[in-house]
Amino acid sequence: MFDNSHCAECGNVDCLMRCHYIDFSGKDDARQEMGKMINGEESRVLSDCVTCFACDEYCPYESHPFDLIIELQEKYNSLNIDPQILESTVNRFKPHAELRLKDINPNKPVLNKCAFPKTNARNMEGQLFENLQYVSGLSYFCNLLYHHYAKDSVIRERAPIIISNIKAQGIKEMICFHDECYGFYNSYCSRNNIELPEDFKPIHLFDYLYHYLKEHESEITKLNLKIAYQRPCSNRFSPEIDEWVDKVCELIGVERVNREYDRENALCCAGTIVSLGKKKLAREIQKKNVDDMIKHGAEMCVYNCPACMDSLGSKVVRSGLKNYFLSDLCRMALGEKLDY
């Protein structure tokens, strides 16, 4: 939930001025647009926003300006998304009416394969995942993707259903394969006063990977690779997770190249920008991103988000680089031969 208590004293307006996608003539211009939004008025920010969530991380007071933006985008239909496409997407990811319970040991962690158990099946195989119990499907899908459709109301409506399903299944520790799922439980729920079960703990995939690798450190063969990491938008809600990328890379002998568009200054994959009809801007952003990877000597682009790989992957390959999930590199370091 947006907290504007610090906005009056914030002289830099970093949340807007650091945006890669919206141009402001200066701080006064940015302050004026922020003032409009604080007053609940329309602003050009609402239609120009590409929903990358970076403003949340840029804000030095953790006031969550994106929560204000998404609320007003829905109020004014600022993204102008085709109603049929929107309705189809909302219905497509609707939770199942009935929950099919699995035989889950509540004293052991559970992998949430999210809505991607089939499309990303090969990425959840091998030593790292074979002994994990898991749940998957729409009954456990966080629905945070509706931030990209300016439909926060859908997330709020479905959040209690998803949480109820987790409680009914008796899950206490849940490893989130997708970054958005972790962001939902770790950040979205708490800042929107959505109560989670008292004994429930979300675990980011990278946290799990690191501790698994530490326990099997003697089995690791250093990969000696240089990679560019494509940071997912949802990681802006939990920026501390970015440190786990460095920890995992160090363990498996991978250098995360020090490039311009990474960490706080990361560019999004531009998939949402395409869906918003801003194809020229999307091409420009993707080119800047991939060129930056090559310029700094990366051999491959590494992801956590399946949507990022889908959006950026073909451009990466055409530029001579390879695409992998970070978990794939961990499997390779443990001696697995991947057939993709």
pLDDT at 116: 79
Average pLDDT, the chain: 95
Quote the CA–CA distance of 173 and 298 in Å, as a whole number: 35
- Which is it for the CA torsion 22, 26, 29, 30, positive or negative? positive
**What are φ and ψ of residue 135, in 5° steps?**
-130, 160
Range 31-66 burial, b when 16+ CB lie within 10 A, else e: bebbebbbeeeebebbebbbbbbbbbbbbeeebbbb
Which region, left, alpha or beta, applies to residue 126 given φ > 0 means left and ψ of -120 to 50 means alpha? left
Edge-first strand listing for the sheet containing 133-135 = 133-135, 110-112, 173-176, 201-204
Q: Name the pLDDT band for 117 (thresholds 50, 70, 90).
A: confident
pLDDT at 4: 85
185-224 confidence digits (pLDDT tens): 999 999 999 999 999 999 999 999 999 999 999 999 999 9
Q: Are 72 and 116 in contact (CB under 8 A)?
A: no
**CATH code matching the domain that covers 210-333, chosen among 1.10.150.20, 3.40.50.1860, 2.130.10.10, 3.40.50.300:** 3.40.50.1860
236-269 confidence digits (pLDDT tens): 999 999 999 999 999 999 999 999 999 999 999 9
Angle at 270 between CA 208 and CA 19, to 5 degrees: 90
pLDDT at 180: 94
152-195 confidence digits (pLDDT tens): 999 999 999 999 999 999 999 999 999 999 999 999 999 999 99
Q: Measured between alpha carbons, how far is residue 161 from residues 93, 164, 175, 210 in Å?
A: 13, 5, 19, 31
Q: Average pLDDT, stretch 290-300?
A: 98
Q: Are 322 and 301 in contact (CB under 8 A)?
A: yes
29-88 confidence digits (pLDDT tens): 999 999 999 999 999 999 999 999 999 999 999 999 999 999 999 999 999 998 998 999
26-41 confidence digits (pLDDT tens): 999 999 999 999 999 9
Percent pLDDT > 90 in the chain is 90
Domain boundaries, the chain: 7-76, 84-204, 210-333
Q: Name the pLDDT band for 304 (thresholds 50, 70, 90).
A: very high
Statement: residue 123 has pLDDT above 80: yes
User: What's the half-sphere exposure (Cβ side, CA atoms, 13 Å) at 27?
Assistant: 6
The class of domain 84-204 in CATH terms is mainly alpha
pLDDT at 340: 78
Q: Are 104 and 170 in contact (CB under 8 A)?
A: yes
HEC assignment per residue over 268-292: CCCHHHHHCCCHHHHHHHHHHHHHH
Q: Are 314 and 323 in contact (CB under 8 A)?
A: no
Name the strand (E) or helix (H) holding 69: helix 65-76
- Do 84-204 and 210-333 have matching folds? no
Q: Enumerate the H helices of 174-324 as residue ranges.
A: 179-183, 189-191, 205-215, 242-252, 271-275, 279-295, 306-318
Quote the CA–CA distance of 112 and 157 in Å, as a whole number: 21
pLDDT at 190: 92
